[in-house]
Amino acid sequence: MNPLRPLLSATLLLAATAPIVLAQDDEPTNRRQVVPMDSTRARQLYVSNRPEDHPSANYEQQMKSKARTDSIFAARAQGVVKFSKVKYKSQAGGLEIPAYLFEPLNPKGPKQHAAMVWVHGGVHGNMDQNYWPFIREAVQRGYAIITPDYRGSTGYGKEFHEAIDYGGMEVDDVESAAEVLKALPYVNPERLGVMGWSHGGYITALLLTREAQGTPFKSGAAIVPVTNLLFRLSFKGPSYQRSFSTQAAVRGLPFEKRAEYIRRSPYYWVDSLKVPLLAHVATNDEDVNFEEARPLIDALQARQPKLSETKVYVNPTPGPTSVGHTFSRRVNRTTLERDDSPEQIDSWNRVWAFFERTLGK
């Protein structure tokens, strides 16, 4: 018999029956500390998850502004490009989507032209007249261009405004615009591209990554794109979060709906890229800050070097809003002509060369 067994048994019995003494740091922490409530800070931080609390807008004023944009496009297009305002049904629920269609005045012939969907930016943004000089150049280069005001865009009233589905059905709305282009007899359906800025760049990236299987697009350009909603919402704070957490298809913040926000973030879909993607970002961007943009650029360079073409513009000449965020959308708001900077010229030269290479001349 092991002479130590009685001693070990006694020690174990003593340990099992002895009272447990917790150090102060080991005390249970599930009791919530009572702190004085700062009502002002509480109001600033509160973020609802109810669709009825989604931020509203001056819908009447937005509709007047949209009518003005329509008239400006119509006037500017005369004798320059063929212009029309069209509607089409989205593949997501059949919602009717308004869009601007810009076509060459004299198409070459059946299936002789490439075409692109251009996607506007902004949470509740819209395609406006400040894109005109770039649209005109695209059409003069031979492209047909359609610019959809997808669900949630401004200028179409309260119901359309509140149908916003950021990174959800709006992506289907944009993809559905390709069917309008395919129906044009002079457009080659095998030569379709997509391009967007900011939120529009975000939709572009999702179309070429998450939705890449079966996409009608052969290439795309994402300029200063939103990339990662998990990061973005934490970086921007409650005032920005309220436009997301109250969307009917989301209803919550990233910590509550983590999988949904990941699904809606292009950064997490880089490995799914199937066609060429160009991405330009700016270090002085004060909307899609470089802290958000750089990880996408790094991921594309590291994991998709054959399909991606990226450029980081270091402190480019500021654009009309958010410093570097609009560095390649510098337009004289009165004449609607390009207000070029060296960086804007360089970015657009790279964009045109990219599409000529990927869609053909």
Q: Any bridge partners for residue 308, and if so which?
A: 277
What Å distances lie between residue 121 and 28, 31, 58, 164, 221, CA to CA?
49, 46, 19, 13, 13
Q: What is the pLDDT of residue 28?
A: 55
Cα angle 332-131-113, degrees, rounded to a multiple of 5: 135
3-state helix, strand, coil in the chain (%, to 5): 40, 15, 40
All residue ranges of the chain with pLDDT < 70 are 1-30
The CA distance from 162 to 154, in Å, is 10
Dihedral of CA 300/90/150/328: which sign?
positive
Q: What is the pLDDT of residue 218?
A: 97
Which residue type, as a one-letter code, is found at position 309? Answer: E
CB 99 within 8 A of CB 118: no
CB 185 within 8 A of CB 110: yes
Dihedral of CA 187/191/197/200: which sign?
positive
Q: What is the pLDDT of residue 20?
A: 40
Please list, in sequence order, all residues whose beta carbon lies within 8 angstroms of the beta carbon of residue 80, skipping any fewer than 6 positions away.
105, 136, 139
The H or E element spanning position 115 is: strand 113-119
Q: What is the pLDDT of residue 85?
A: 98
Q: What is the pLDDT of residue 27?
A: 54
Q: What is the pLDDT of residue 29?
A: 58
Q: Any bridge partners for residue 113, and if so which?
A: 187
| CA 37 to mean position of chain CA atoms | 37
Q: DSSP code of 122?
A: S
Structure tokens at 75: 């006037």
The CA distance from 141 to 155, in Å, is 30
Which of 119, 106, 167 minimizes the C-alpha distance to 145? 119
Q: pLDDT tens across 37-66, in order?
A: 899 999 999 999 999 999 999 999 999 999
The CA distance from 73 to 42, in Å, is 45
Question: Angle, to 10 degrees, between the axis of helix 132-140 and the axis of helix 59-77?
Answer: 40
